[in-house]
Amino acid sequence: MHCVALGSRFRIPLWNPVRKKAFTVAKLFYSSSSYHCAPSSVKLLSLLSDVRPLTTMENFWTSGSVDKNKRMVESLQRYGIIKSKKVSEVMEKIDRGLFVQSDTPAYVDSPMQIGYNATISAPHMHATCLELLKEHLQPGMRALDVGSGTGYLTACFAIMVGSQGCAVGVEHIPELASFSIENIKKSSASSLFEGSLWVHVTDGRLGWAELAPYDAIHVGAAAPEIPNALIEQLKPGGRMVIPVGTILQDLKVIDKKLDGSLSIRTETSVRYVPLTSKDAQLRG
């Protein structure tokens, strides 16, 4: 059996549900002869399966946006990315279509350009991060979303922690912060805006000390190293989810124990835009 190696531009994220399915298919295909499936053949199967991605359900393109959002959530559940009711509920409530430009295919499982060399993360990454953080996003808790971009996850956090909690988005591109505020105001989180949901223009590497400590910190851009300020602003018992690395990046899950010590593990390999200075980002 010859394996076809595909160029890196065809690579799809590890967490892509289509890839997950293809991997299962590949495993089944080869298991009868105890053959260990080579990554390149997994990649090929991924690509072939990709012909019918998450979004290609009957009547998909003709249904309304709320419908499409619901179907996107159902697909993520089917592929095991969304595991809990909490996460499916909040992703159903916050319509992803409100957080991208109207000509963007909002419900396709892929990151999308939002301008200023930034992207909205793919739905499966949003779902993964919500799953990882859900126990730290209980009603009344505090959440910080660093590199909040479109405001999608900030809105989800705000819904989860409710009016007694607080969700803070920090973004260093003022135009993106304004865009996110417009989006949030159109969404189900609108009534929480400037009550328990805030968006600030600042360098996210410094966090947002005013409302620290946080039960949950999410970082939406890859840091070369975990910023100290964010570790300091994490509450004992709290959790941070942060992509770390430059070219090769890992999604790290950092738990601060009650004695202040940290436990750090890698969830998966990822590809995010860098957590950097505003100038470096705009220069691309």
Least Cβ distance, residue 124 to ligand SAH (angstroms): 12
| Degrees, nearest 5: CA angle 138-127-114 | 115
Maximum CA extent, the chain: 61
Q: Which is nearer to ligand SAH, 73 or 170 (CB)?
A: 170
Distance of CA 256 to the CA centre of its chain: 21
Dihedral (Cα; 235, 239, 245, 248), 10-degree rounding: 180
E-assigned strands of the chain?
Answer: 112-115, 118-120, 142-146, 166-171, 197-201, 214-219, 234-245, 249-256, 262-270
Which residues would be at the binding site for ligand SAH (CB under 6 A)? Answer: 116, 118-121, 147-150, 152-153, 170-173, 176, 203-205, 220-221, 273, 275-276, 281
Q: Which is nearer to ligand SAH, 45 or 243 (CB)?
A: 243
Nearer to ligand SAH, 116 or 214 (CB): 116
Show which residues are catalytic. Answer: 121
By beta-carbon proximity to ligand SAH, the closer residue of 31 and 228 is 228
Q: How far is the CB of 221 from ligand SAH (least distance, A)?
A: 4
* Two tokens, residue 8: 């890196």
Bridge partners of residue 171, in order along the sequence: 201
- Residue whose pair of structure tokens reads 């591109």 in the numeric block: 173
In angstroms, what is the minimal distance from the CB of 7 to ligand SAH?
Answer: 25
Closest distance of CB 210 from ligand SAH, Å: 16
Asked whether 230 and 212 are in contact (CB, 8 A), the reply is no
Tokens of 1: 């059996």
